[in-house]
């Protein structure tokens, strides 16, 4: 996956940065003789006359044509079928989704048709849904042209409104090139773009969020609220709960705290109730706890213990299929759990000394474990229910690209995005097979080595990334 910049704010920053780099380079050439040297405290300091917003000139277009021509609509270059039926079948073979007479390019697979129509087409599917009381809804989309136009036209309109294009010709170039890339399956935005752009006034386009939390009830409740909004918009979130005091520590007013594992129940229920995008997929959620947190033993075992209840319900005759009643009745089923471990902990597993947990509020020593015992519990629970996973904190922060901004403590639900708290990522997928230079004489569709021609369209790939 390539990380793209497709939400409005980050998209704006990316285009502006590219434009400013080019303009600054041009300005540097023209103002090379305008540098002056002064002295501050005896040391020479060179200052330059920098171009202002009024003096910048847009000489080089950001986007040029590679895949399209000005007089040809990208859609007209494809063969289309307007009578396809998109169907998703359940475990029993009965349709759980069906939309007839949908329009897709002839070379799109049936699987691609099914996924796009069921997940990304907006609007009520049935007359009953359209007639239901509530907020007004757009007419159901039936063509991938409508879907792509909704997204691409929205992005292009933002570019026009905010002055990113040199002129209208460049705006139309961007619009056509992006439509070509999407309809030919060369690249694809992350799902929230398809869910929300062109539908919501302020669309949520980021796929993944990393949240922060403080050791207070207000912060915990704000975590619940924020995750609910994230899931509603079709996105996922990750959070490290190690800053929340353990169930072994006192509250200001007396008594013991609930601890992070207890508060995970509320967040789990919210995630199970609010499907991502409101209707199209389950919430995506990551919960992390540091291995030196006093509640680490409870965290390691919480999901496996709940799943044993589901097996017992299955033995009693309850439905244990993916959407069965047994799973709705238990907790901790809507998140990936991960233990955050350090190199010190991993060395302790090898060398077998004691491992010290520490109270969150004071940093004083709490319960002591054998590191190997904790590692065995992690392995046993992961074998039983596939959770918890492990995140290697020391190595993650060694590879940190902006450590001066703070440590990395968490990740998104799938863990491919590791960054600062209270940040977000915008993912895109680029289909590398679309850039292979196929040669039928090679026998397998790949250019033979030594043929004198590159097997991969690197310039087309670069252009796709730029668009």
Residue 416 annotated as catalytic:
yes
Q: Which among 203, 298, 286 has a CA at the least distance from the CA of 247?
A: 298
Q: Using one digit for the tens of pLDDT, what is the confidence trace for 242-275?
A: 999 999 999 988 899 999 999 999 999 999 888 6
The one catalytic residue among 416, 438, 459, 465: 416
Domain residue extents for the chain: 1-15+54-205, 208-425
Q: Provide mean pLDDT across the span 133-162.
A: 89
Residues 289, 290, 293, 296, Cα dihedral to 10°: 60
The mean pLDDT value for 315-332 works out to 84
> Mean pLDDT across the stretch 447-463?
73
Q: What pTM was computed for the model?
A: 0.80
pLDDT in tens, 289-311: 999 999 999 999 999 999 999 88
Q: Is 412 a catalytic residue?
A: yes
What is the mean predicted confidence (pLDDT) over 151-159?
Answer: 95
Q: What is the mean pLDDT of residues 73-82?
A: 96
Each residue of 85-108: pLDDT tens digit? Answer: 999 998 788 898 999 999 999 999
Strand partners, 369: 355
Active site residue 98: no
Report the pLDDT value the prediction gives residue 160, as an integer from 0 to 100: 93
CATH code for residues 208-425: 3.20.70.20
pLDDT at residue 438, as a whole number: 63
* pLDDT tens-digit series, residues 190-236: 999 999 999 988 899 999 999 999 999 999 999 999 999 999 989 99
> Taking 50 as the threshold, does the pLDDT of residue 51 lie above it?
no
Q: Please identify which of the residues 190, 240, 334, 412 carries the catalytic annotation.
A: 412
């Amino acid at each position: 996956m390539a990380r793209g910049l497709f939400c409005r704010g980050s998209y704006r920053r990316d285009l502006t940065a590219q434009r400013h780099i080019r303009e600054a380079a041009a300005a540097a050439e023209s103002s090379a003789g305008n540098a002056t040297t002064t002295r501050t405290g005896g040391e020479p300091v060179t200052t330059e006359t920098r171009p202002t917003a009024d003096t910048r000139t847009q000489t080089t277009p950001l986007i040029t044509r590679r895949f399209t021509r000005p007089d040809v609509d990208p859609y007209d270059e494809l063969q289309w079928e307007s009578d396809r039926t998109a169907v998703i079948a359940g475990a029993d073979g009965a349709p759980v989704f069906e939309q007839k007479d949908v329009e897709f390019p002839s070379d799109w697979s049936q699987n691609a048709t099914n996924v796009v129509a069921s997940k990304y087409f907006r609007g009520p599917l049935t007359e009953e849904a359209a007639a239901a009381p509530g907020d007004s809804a757009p007419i159901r989309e039936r063509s991938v042209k409508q879907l792509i136009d909704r997204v691409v036209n929205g992005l292009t309109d933002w570019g026009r409104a905010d002055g990113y294009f040199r002129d209208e010709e460049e705006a139309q170039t961007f619009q056509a090139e992006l439509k070509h890339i999407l309809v030919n399956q060369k690249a694809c935005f992350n799902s929230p773009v398809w869910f929300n752009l062109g539908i919501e006034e302020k669309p949520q386009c980021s796929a993944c969020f990393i949240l922060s939390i403080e050791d207070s009830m207000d912060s915990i409740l704000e975590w619940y609220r924020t995750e609910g909004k994230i899931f509603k918009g079709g996105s996922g979130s990750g959070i490290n709960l190690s800053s929340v005091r353990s169930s072994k520590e006192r509250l200001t007013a007396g008594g013991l705290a609930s601890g992070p594992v207890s508060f995970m129940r509320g967040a789990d229920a919210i995630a199970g109730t609010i499907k991502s995008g409101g209707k199209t997929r389950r919430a995506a959620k990551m919960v992390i706890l540091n291995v030196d947190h006093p509640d680490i033993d409870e965290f390691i075992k919480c999901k496996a213990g709940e799943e044993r209840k589901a097996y017992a319900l299955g033995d009693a005759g309850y439905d244990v299929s993916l959407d069965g009643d047994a799973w709705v009745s238990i907790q901790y089923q809507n998140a990936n759990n991960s233990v955050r471990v350090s190199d010190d902990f991993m060395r302790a597993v090898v060398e077998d000394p004691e491992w010290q947990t520490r109270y969150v509020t004071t940093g004083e020593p709490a319960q002591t474990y054998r590191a190997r015992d904790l590692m065995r519990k992690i392995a046993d629970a992961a074998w039983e229910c596939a959770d918890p996973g492990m995140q290697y904190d020391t190595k993650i922060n060694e590879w940190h690209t902006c450590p001066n901004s703070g440590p990395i403590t968490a990740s998104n639900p799938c863990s491919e995005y590791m960054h600062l708290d209270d940040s977000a990522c915008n993912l895109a997928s680029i289909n590398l097979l679309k850039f292979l230079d196929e040669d039928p004489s090679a026998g397998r569709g790949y250019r033979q080595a030594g043929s004198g021609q590159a097997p991969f369209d690197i310039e087309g790939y670069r252009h796709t990334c730029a668009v």
